[in-house]
Structure 1
Amino acid sequence: MTIQDLKDNNLILFEAIAGSKSFGLDTPTSDTDIKGVFYMAKELFYGMEYIPQISNETNDVVYYEIGRYIELLSKNNPNILELLASPTDCILYKHPVMERIVLTDFLSKLCKDTFAGYAATQIKKARGLKKKIVNPLPKERKSPLDFCYILKGYNSIPLKKWLQEKGVAQENCGLVNMPHSKDMYALFIDTNGLLGYKGIIKSEDSNEVSLSSVPNGETESAYMYFNKDGYSNYCKEYREYWDWVEKRNDNRYNTNMEHGKQYDSKNMMHTVRLLQSALQILSEGTLDIRVSNREELLAIKAGEWEYDALLQFTEDHLAAIEQLAKTSTLPEKPDIKNAEKLLVEIRMALYQ
């Protein structure tokens, strides 16, 4: 089923302009996002295939099946509560049956975990993004050799430096496990290459050091430590960094680099907006998604805030939300039975 199928069969129950235009944060370059609610034709709903959501390829047009919509409302999903709270001038179509769904029936203290919880996740991602921007990783991947060290008295030196000083190739070395010593090895050198040592690593693509069979009577040249945990952490960071480079929005990244504050400014703007929504829900028992501090939020998007000041600002909001959640008169969570009853009534009205 496609969005066009919904329109052709009059299955749309609600449709509204969403995103920055509904928040009052749009600029001349802003896209138009559309979100809505639909219901399945009776024969499809009673069949074996349930369709909870339909969207276009870019995901800027999304419709939720009425059951999924009410389920997410009951979980205080931020996107879905914001859709229900759409400003009148953003609503493109509203079926009369949708009048039965009232915002205040779903607002609860759960928003502390959904709105503020999601915002906290984004703050954590912002810290991670700053780390990626400030500490880019070279495309050339390090090998286990970069994490090996030769013991020298009470100190250690990098293996590569030691090999260079000795004038020895790693391929002419052999390693033997040291008993009862994690990641410690005795290192032997075969200068003439006649003993068949396997080298410290087999190839540049290796993720482990190699062990060799060493003839009896050979004398070790040094003792080597392989920082295996350090190498594993590096591999994880390397993979995450280059995955991020491949998938990042280059226009957004370039904007972040231009303002020089080294954080995803658009993401942080919406993080602050979510925190403000959580404060409003808990303190006033309602939700108005059209922001009253447009200029302040757009200043965050433009990168006019210092990174540390912005993080402190969000931390203060999170602390205020925690306190409000303790005193708010809102229920702990929406009444699931009433939500289910409402859904049954709506379906019965639609299928009569």
Structure 2
Amino acid sequence: MTTPLTIEQLKADNLILLECLSGSRAYGLATPQSDTDIKGVFYLPRSRFYGLQSEYVPQVSNASNDIVYYELGRYIELLLQNNPNMMELLATPQDKVLYRHPLMDSFLPEWFVSKLCENTFAGFASSQIKKARGLNKKIVNPMAKEKKTLLDFCSVFAENHSIPLPEWLAQQPFSQRQIGLVVMPKTTQMYAMYVDYDGSLGFSGLMQKPEASQLRLSSIPKGMTPVGYLSFNEQGFSKYCKDYKDYWQWVAARNEERYQTTISHGKQYDAKNMMHTIRLLEMALDIATTGQVVVERPNREELLAIKAGESDYDELLQQSEQLTEQITAAFAKSTLPATPNHKVALAALVAVREQLYGAE
């Protein structure tokens, strides 16, 4: 069994080809609280590269994933897809490059910058906008930890008016376990309710367990008179269950420190997320108008103001929509190629590998 590659091994065996500061430090948006993220490129030892396909390692990272190195072939593959992270790594400002092997000069940026960036940069930004909208809804509409039951989505029609089932039950001398239900013919989610006052009829009740997802039906003796009629909003209950699961999974997975920062600025949206959304859109516009990937942003103070929560959520959405319209128009006029130059890039990859393994 092959031993997993580690960052320590990459460095000990001199397998690293490129190492750069990334994230906020590359963007020129670092603050005293910022982490130090590093991205880079390595190449596999000859034995692994020429060995079994299962031995190929596309990337190596540390436990927190803030230091990530991509294998040379994977790096070129992602560049040919105009992956934003790899395009930023390719165009890292010189003062943020920690190490660069001379062979990395074999890959020219102009081979990769293409109109495909409209989909990758602006498309990813669009997904972040949707994520921000979802987060905004979760912050504005928190869900109680105590989960509702299907009974909370039922109403009773009795004495010529409708009343929520829990409220109706609170007024009765019996519990839901004494009720027997039968489906009303030619209706959807409508039931007639009967009561087993002394428990001799063995009715099933409305539900057996709090986590039940369906109402229970009973066999009703002939001649009994219903005490009322019940309507079950099954669609509303299903949506609630999905929203409840999504919300509490989000609570369990969220970065609590970042969330508290979001709450503290009082604007009820993930300000860091929105800052990077605007940054990505502005980078996409740069690519369309100049053909360059500008990693270090010229409007540091403006972007940090967004991160600090100094902008209204709706204003940022409007700004992102305007930028998206500008990007679409700019790419339509752009003279950039439709896609990267696969032929030249792959030929250079082969030549670089030959030099690396030849040198070994």
Taking structure 1 as reference, are residues 31 and 189 closer, same or farther at Cα in structure 2, changes over 3 Å only?
same
Q: Are 1:305 and 2:317 counterparts?
A: no
1:343 deviates by 1.7
Counterpart for residue 23 of structure 1: 27
Counterpart for residue 36 of structure 1: 40
Aligned-partner Cα distance in 1 for 2:78–2:72:
10
Structure 2 letter corresponding to 1:260: G
1:185 deviates by 1.6
Counterpart for residue 13 of structure 2: 9
User: Residue 265 of structure 2 is aligned with which of 259, 263, 272?
Assistant: 259
Counterpart for residue 203 of structure 1: 209
Structure 1 letter corresponding to 2:174: V
Q: Secondary structure at the match of 1:166?
A: coil
Q: Are 1:339 and 2:345 counterparts?
A: yes
Q: Structure 2 matches for 1:306-321, cutoff 5 A?
A: 306-321=312-327
Aligned-partner Cα distance in 2 for 1:175–1:160:
16
User: Residue 231 of structure 2 is aligned with which of 201, 225, 231?
Assistant: 225
1:348 deviates by 1.4
Aligned-partner Cα distance in 1 for 2:126–2:272:
15
1:152 deviates by 4.6
Aligned-partner Cα distance in 1 for 2:31–2:272:
12
Taking structure 1 as reference, are residues 210 and 11 closer, same or farther at Cα in structure 2, changes over 3 Å only?
same
Cα distance per residue 1:51-95 (max 9 Å; x no partner): 001100000000000110001001110011000110101111111
Aligned-partner Cα distance in 2 for 1:147–1:297:
45
Aligned-partner Cα distance in 2 for 1:325–1:178:
60
Gapped regions of structure 2 (runs ≥ 5):
none
Aligned-partner Cα distance in 1 for 2:236–2:157:
17
Aligned pair count? 352
Deviating more after overlay: 146-155 vs 28-37? 146-155
Counterpart for residue 274 of structure 2: 268
Deviating more after overlay: 209-218 vs 190-199? 209-218
Q: Secondary structure at the match of 2:171?
A: helix
Deviating more after overlay: 276-285 vs 340-349? 340-349
Counterpart for residue 256 of structure 2: 250
Q: Structure 2 matches for 1:286-301, cutoff 5 A?
A: 286-301=292-307
Aligned-partner Cα distance in 2 for 1:87–1:313:
27
Aligned-partner Cα distance in 2 for 1:153–1:181:
20
Normalised TM-score (structure 1): 0.97
Q: Are 1:83 and 2:89 counterparts?
A: yes
Aligned-partner Cα distance in 1 for 2:297–2:306:
14
Aligned-partner Cα distance in 1 for 2:320–2:160:
47
Q: Secondary structure at the match of 1:176?
A: strand
Cα distance per residue 1:23-56 (max 9 Å; x no partner): 1000111111111000101110111211001100
User: Residue 289 of structure 2 is aligned with which of 277, 283, 288?
Assistant: 283
1:181 deviates by 2.2
Aligned-partner Cα distance in 1 for 2:294–2:69:
21
Q: Structure 2 matches for 1:26-105, cutoff 5 A?
A: 26-48=30-52, 49-105=55-111
Structure 2 letter corresponding to 1:308: D
Counterpart for residue 325 of structure 1: 331
1:220 deviates by 2.0
Q: Structure 2 matches for 1:169-180, cutoff 5 A?
A: 169-180=175-186
Q: Are 1:189 and 2:195 counterparts?
A: yes
Counterpart for residue 148 of structure 2: 142
Counterpart for residue 165 of structure 2: 159
Q: Are 1:115 and 2:115 counterparts?
A: no
Cα distance per residue 1:224-271 (max 9 Å; x no partner): 111111111101111111111111111111111111000100111111
Structure 2 letter corresponding to 1:80: M
Taking structure 1 as reference, are residues 73 and 154 closer, same or farther at Cα in structure 2, changes over 3 Å only?
farther
1:103 deviates by 1.2
Where does structure 1 differ by over 4 angstroms across 4 or more consecutive aligned residues?
152-155
Equivalent pairs: percent with the same residue? 53
User: Residue 134 of structure 2 is aligned with which of 118, 122, 128?
Assistant: 128
Cα distance per residue 1:306-336 (max 9 Å; x no partner): 1111111111111111111211111111122
